[in-house]
Amino acid sequence: MQVAHRIRFVPNSPTLAITARAKQMVAEGKDVISLSIGEPDFGTPPHIIEAAKKALDAGATRYTAAAGIIELRKAVANQIRADYGIDNITAEHVIISSGAKHSLYNAMMALLNPGDEVIIPAPYWVSYPVIVTLASGIPVFVPTTLEERFILTPEKLRAAITRRTRLLILNNPSNPTGSVYNKKELKALLEVVLDYPNIMVIADDIYRKLIYGNGKFASIASFGEEARKRCIIIDGVSKAYAMTGWRIGFSIARRQITKAMAHIQSHTTSNPAAVSQMAALEALTGDQNPVEEMRQEFSNRRNNVIRLLDKLDSMEMHQPRGAFYVLPRISKLLGKITPSGELLRTDMDFATYLLERSHVAVVPGTPFGAPSHIRLSYALSMEKLEQAINRITEAVLDLRDPGV
């Protein structure tokens, strides 16, 4: 059967093979530890669940306004005003969608014409290029390196801009690198963007509440009125409030763009689930202590993971400052031979080796635009993390150089 052309440009995920194999091993009773998780391992805080139950009893079972209930749109606007220091954000700038991924899709559909270029700093979250492509845009990758802390520089940004550039996607803190941009770095990027009236910025700030050490969240949208108008902020409750399954994301953009996005949403999904919106309202307006408790726990895990991985000279990494991922470079391990005599050529080979030998699932870097890296998530208990890293350490020590 023929499927539409657009599907041909959606790459098959090479990580699916690893995930499938890991699942098969679990089904066979093997003790697999997965460091490939992209969601907090905590439950949704009980007060949020309670609010959802009450909302259901009170009849939150019907359609709502397509762009979301006004109370939640107002709550998002209030939080963004407070956290970003932007004054004139109102509910009219906000759309509630079925997850941040959905908000991103609405934004690309509203902004891109066929052939428009979208600058994506690499390493990047795997869904960006796919969403851009589905919306008829062309992803333009700009590589960043470990030595640069995976931070896009203004020089690289300027060099990537063409007459067709329409969008820059900035993910801060970043999945998969854990990098966090500081104010100075963001301002320098904004100055380049402001030289080009046609370029907008998608600020995917979904991990903004998960920042560790003495780092502070800053946004490219926070440098005054012109910056705000050029940015579409993407946020949501999935990561900060451990609510991935509720599917609630937000976009904050100037009115004209918000209107276009709301129009698209109204003819695709309509409103996000009414009960989830009520839960998100409680998340934003209720007790914020659970967010801080989860952040603290992630912070402790990050410190521990870095301390343990640092002992392995063959894995090079920078100190991630946000989200819950580490992206070690493993180029020193490529070219080595496994105990069963196989040559490790790529990050995919190394991930397969870890799974088969140590029963640890990690994600190879290539699908994130980070060949010769692997992504580890620390969204699991300290005990499991320690076990997993001990296993990785043993597997690495078992490798030998060719001809030895």
Ligand X SMILES: Cc1ncc(COP(=O)(O)O)c(C=O)c1O
DSSP element (H, E) containing 285 = helix 274-285
3-class secondary structure, 163: coil
Q: With respect to ligand X, which residue has the nearer C-beta, 22 or 107? A: 107
Q: With respect to ligand X, which residue has the nearer C-beta, 283 or 333? A: 283
Mark 100-118 as b/e (b = at least 16 C-beta within 10 Å).
bbbbbbbbbbbbbeeebbb
Given 133, 165, 238, 358, the residue binding ligand X (CB under 6 A) = 238
Q: With respect to ligand X, which residue has the nearer C-beta, 241 or 350? A: 241
Given 79, 106, 133, 171, the residue binding ligand X (CB under 6 A) = 171
Q: How far is the CB of 33 from ligand X (least distance, A)?
A: 20
**Cα separation of 135 and 101, whole Å?**
13
206 binds ligand X, rule: CB under 6 A: yes
User: Cα–Cα–Cα angle for 300, 302, 305, nearest 5°?
Assistant: 110
Q: With respect to ligand X, which residue has the nearer C-beta, 38 or 371? A: 38
Q: Is 42 exposed, middle or buried (0-12, 13-18, 19+ CB in 10 A)?
A: middle
C-alpha 302 chain-centroid distance: 17
175 binds ligand X, rule: CB under 6 A: yes
Strand partners, 140: 119
Given 136, 244, 314, 331, the residue binding ligand X (CB under 6 A) = 244
Is the separation of the CB atoms in 295 and 210 below 8 Å?
yes
249 binds ligand X, rule: CB under 6 A: yes
Round to the nearest angstrom and report the end-to-end CA distance of the chain: 52
3-class secondary structure, 231: strand
Q: With respect to ligand X, which residue has the nearer C-beta, 64 or 251? A: 251
Site string for ligand X, 116-155 (x = CB under 6 A): ---------x------------------------------
Residue nearest to ligand X (CB): 99
Q: How far is the CB of 127 from ligand X (least distance, A)?
A: 7
Query: Which stretch, 96-104, 159-167, 214-222, 263-271, contacts ligand X (CB under 6 A)?
Result: 96-104
Scanning the structure block, which residue is given the tokens 């991630």? 320
Q: How far is the CB of 393 from ligand X (least distance, A)?
A: 27
Given 116, 185, 204, 347, the residue binding ligand X (CB under 6 A) = 204
